[in-house]
A and B are shown apart, each in its own frame.
Chain A
Amino acid sequence: MSTNHEFMVPEAILGVSPMIAACAVLLIVYFFIITEKIHQTIIAMLGAVAMIYLGLLNQELAVQGIDFNTIFLLIGMMVLVGIMQRSGFFQYVAIVSAKTVKANPRALLIVLSIITAVFSALLDNVTTVMLIVPITLLLTEQLKLNPYPFLFSQIFFSNVGGTATLIGDPPNILIGSAVGYGFMDFVYNVGPPALIISLFLFVFFDVLWGRKMETSMRARAHLMRYDAASALTDKPLLYKSLFVLLLVLLGFTVGHHHGFEPGTVALSGGALLMLLDTIGVKKDDVHKRVHQAFHEVEWDTIFFFIGLFIIVTGVEQSGFLAIIAHWIVEVTQGDLALTGMTIMWVSTIASAFINNIPFVATLIPVINSMAADFGGKDMLEPLWWSLSLGACLGGNGSIVGASANGMVASYAARAGQGISFLKFMALAFPLMLVTVVIGTIYAYFFYYQ
């Protein structure tokens, strides 16, 4: 099969067809990601270069396969948040909220969940929980409460909040970038189900835990003495960060209509905040601050994405993903609703147990090649929202379902409050299924009826 006029995939690779060779690489990479025998970034990079060495791609094609919009978006937001967190803003918000509800534990469970959901919608989930969990542990220790219900609800709300926006969760970033959906497309389409699910979860967690929580007036009085303003360590930096964050959000919404992609907007935001953060600072310190800002970028995550993009491109070039797509359409007899529901539920179950990033990255070209079967790319829209809901919400199914879950669990373990895999799943999996049922009903009425 020829991919560009200079590059030819050989007819056989190590004695097998290119398609089988590409699938073998994909399966090996998946195997190691699931079993965690090799770090996911290492295996993704090895898989990517294997695609080149096996002759399925050349380096030029591999680079073309990398979705730099996603990469730029991730890097830009990581730089921005990395600088912003120095301001102490996140602790400030948590303390102010705790004091606003008079340190009432039942209300605290709800406000901390809201904070988690909102921050997760606007920032990366892992960053959000890294900021919210330590302060939660301090507040629950002060109120002598078991932190488990708080941590559990924060896992759920980080994933549900992330579902609502383009930048909230990696699957949405991938879908938005691949299909060209803007920030507001996500808000309009997956925002409402995320909101309905959030309301359901507020009630559920309140009935299960919140209404039974008790603490002493004395402990509450202690918390009321907290001085939130002292948590703000760098007010000028806070104003600069909020200003840039607002500009970036504005850029996401307005820029889309002018053809500016989110990656460009996020990178500009990162660069602008670095500039504002280093104005009037000594030259040596400027170097340090810029270095530190890039240090906050999770390069292992970035290279995990890069590796996956290349691997998926290799598999796509081999023609295998198109075959899968036609097979799905055949099985569902070309019924859009049935295909959509299948995509939603398969991604739900898969995302509950494996990292949803490689899964979504693989599924995107599959869905893309269904365009002819359903009468054009525009007809695929319901499928993208089904994929987004399934992959994002499915992440709540187990402690390994999303990287944010693992981050919460690791903090809990450090605090001597370890979250066990089975104990978490016993409640989380059925509860996650309920949220996906809500998503399914929503999708059915809005897209498939």
Chain B
Amino acid sequence: MPCRNAMITDVIFCRPNDTVKDVMAVMEENKIRHVPVIDENNVLIGMFGYSHLLKDLLPVSVKMEDGLQRLNFVIGASPGVAKRMRKIFPNPVSQHCFKDVVVVSPDTPTWEATRLIVKYGSPLPVLEENTGKFVGLISEQSLFSELLEVLEDVEKEEAEEQAKNN
């Protein structure tokens, strides 16, 4: 079973120049945590989500490779962090989205997609293999609903087989 059966194609997305504030409003309104950033040619620029925004709020000394391992000694930083967020709000979302995204193609088996989601988190963008165009998302929910449908079919077959044997 390839990913094309399990993916969501009716995806809420944003453009690279949309502001972080606007995109966050869209996420809030639609109760979603991640949005693909897609340009006019349907090419994926990156993924934007609350987790990426939170990461950008951390001090650079923590974010960087081999940086500080903890910040538990910093007390009362919330006003500073909130102000930092205020600075980020008017920026284009392309500045803050995660660009090194793990992607799958419509032909990737869902078994492999499941492995990738377990490893890298949900959702993963689905890109057309040759053109690299964005075609949809595959998420924990979409995988499960597809698996449930498959289970129904399996059970139906099992019931038929049992009826035949009887």
Check if A222 is an interface residue, CB within 8 A of chain B.
yes
Partner of B66, one of A130, A225, A227: A130
Check if B64 is an interface residue, CB within 8 A of chain A.
yes
Q: Which of B40-48, B73-81, B107-115, B142-150 is the contact stretch? A: B73-81
Residue contact B72 to A230, C-beta cutoff 8 Å = yes
- Bitwise interface map of A from 124 to 153 toward B, beta carbon under 8 Å scored 1, else 0: 000000100011011001000000000000
Check if A228 is an interface residue, CB within 8 A of chain B.
yes
Check if B61 is an interface residue, CB within 8 A of chain A.
yes
Residue contact A141 to B73, C-beta cutoff 8 Å = no
- Cα of A229 to Cα of B64 in the assembled complex, Å: 24
- Cα of A229 to Cα of B60 in the assembled complex, Å: 22
Partner of A134, one of B61, B72, B77, B80: B61
Partner of A233, one of B65, B66, B70: B70
Residue contact A141 to B80, C-beta cutoff 8 Å = no
Q: How many B residues touch A, CB cutoff 8 Å?
A: 17
Partner of A138, one of B66, B68, B72: B68
Chain B contact surface mostly: loop
Q: How many A residues touch B, CB cutoff 8 Å?
A: 22
A-B contact count (CB 8 A): 54
Residue of B nearest to A137 (CB): B61
Min distance, Cβ A108 to any Cβ of chain B, angstroms: 15
Chain A contact surface mostly: helix
Residue contact A415 to B68, C-beta cutoff 8 Å = no
Check if A411 is an interface residue, CB within 8 A of chain B.
yes
CB contact list, B23-70 vs A, under 8 A: 59-62, 64-68, 70
Q: Collect the chain A residues with CB atoms within 8 Å of residue B70's CB.
A: 88, 231, 233
- Which B positions have Cβ atoms within 8 angstroms of A? 59-62, 64-68, 70, 72-77, 80
Given A91-B73, A226-B74, A227-B73, 4 more A-B residue pairs with CB atoms under 8 Å apart are A134-B67, A137-B67, A138-B59, A231-B70
- Which A positions have Cβ atoms within 8 angstroms of B? 88, 91, 95, 130, 134-135, 137-138, 141, 222, 225-231, 233, 411, 414-416
